[in-house]
């Protein structure tokens, strides 16, 4: 347990039996007595951001998280199977824990799994991934209006807007934080 006055951005905390990452923490002092700590936290499981207010004298539980480098093997029903690259131990996580990673990883890809008490709770994606365009409209001569693009479906099912010169079968780099096209790969 730690005092809420020691909460910092990026800390993992357990609140209401859920794991949250602190995205913002502000201290406010009152005229008399203890101050309050206002925080914004992102739920690791659901991805939802909530606000919490604590009295300065309260204590919260800090979550102990660890990471393991794994390879994504395959999915079966709504379960996703990963293998630790050092110990060859296999882990299974559900759709809820996968979150946005569903749109960005494909079989045999290497990622980091986040663990809490030896239980996988989420996937940590790299900032960019390379994916193949599977469906987009053909390019026509003269389609060069700046700032616009055309819709494209990638091999994972993710839909992005790409420039007009990108064609089916090409590999492109996508930002996993924004879901936007960066460049040809």
Using one digit for the tens of pLDDT, what is the confidence trace for 102-119?
888 888 888 888 888 788
Whether the Cβ atoms of residue 26 and residue 37 lie closer than 8 Å to each other: yes
Answer yes or no: is pLDDT of 177 > 90.
no
DSSP sequence for 32-94: SS--EEEEEEEETTT--EEEEEEETT-EEEEP-EEEEEEEEEEEETTEEEEEETTT--EEEEE
Between CA 28 and CA 33 the distance in angstroms is: 12
Does domain 65-124 match CATH 3.20.20.100? no
The CATH number that domain 2-62 falls under is 2.30.30.30
Residue reference for tokens 């029903």: 77
Residue reference for tokens 């990883």: 105
User: What kind of fold does domain 128-184 have according to CATH?
Assistant: OB fold (Dihydrolipoamide Acetyltransferase, E2P) (2.40.50)
Using one digit for the tens of pLDDT, what is the confidence trace for 59-115?
888 888 888 899 999 888 888 999 998 999 999 988 777 777 888 888 888 888 888
Same CATH fold assignment for domains 65-124 and 128-184? yes
Whether the Cβ atoms of residue 71 and residue 38 lie closer than 8 Å to each other: no
DSSP sequence for 17-41: TEEEEEEEEEEE--SSS--EEEEEE
How are strands ordered across the β-sheet holding 90-94?
Answer: 90-94, 79-84, 65-76, 110-116, 119-124
Whether the Cβ atoms of residue 27 and residue 3 lie closer than 8 Å to each other: no
């Amino acid at each position: 347990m730690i005092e809420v006055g020691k909460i910092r951005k990026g800390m993992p905390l357990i609140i209401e039996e859920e794991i949250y990452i602190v995205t913002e923490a502000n201290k406010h002092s009152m005229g008399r007595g203890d101050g309050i700590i206002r925080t914004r936290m992102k739920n690791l499981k659901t991805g939802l951001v909530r606000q919490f207010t604590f009295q300065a004298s309260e204590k919260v539980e800090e979550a102990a998280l660890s990471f393991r480098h794994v390879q994504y093997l395959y999915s079966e029903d709504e379960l996703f199977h990963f293998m630790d690259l050092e110990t060859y131990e296999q882990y299974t996580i559900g759709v809820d824990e996968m979150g946005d990673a569903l749109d960005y990883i494909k079989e045999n890809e290497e990622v980091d799994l986040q663990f809490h008490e030896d239980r996988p709770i989420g996937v940590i994606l790299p900032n960019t991934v390379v994916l193949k365009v599977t469906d987009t409209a053909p390019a026509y001569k003269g389609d060069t209006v700046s700032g616009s693009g055309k819709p494209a479906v990638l091999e994972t099912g993710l839909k992005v807007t790409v420039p007009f010169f990108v064609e089916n079968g090409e590999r492109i780099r996508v930002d996993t934080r924004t879901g936007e096209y960066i460049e040809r790969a």
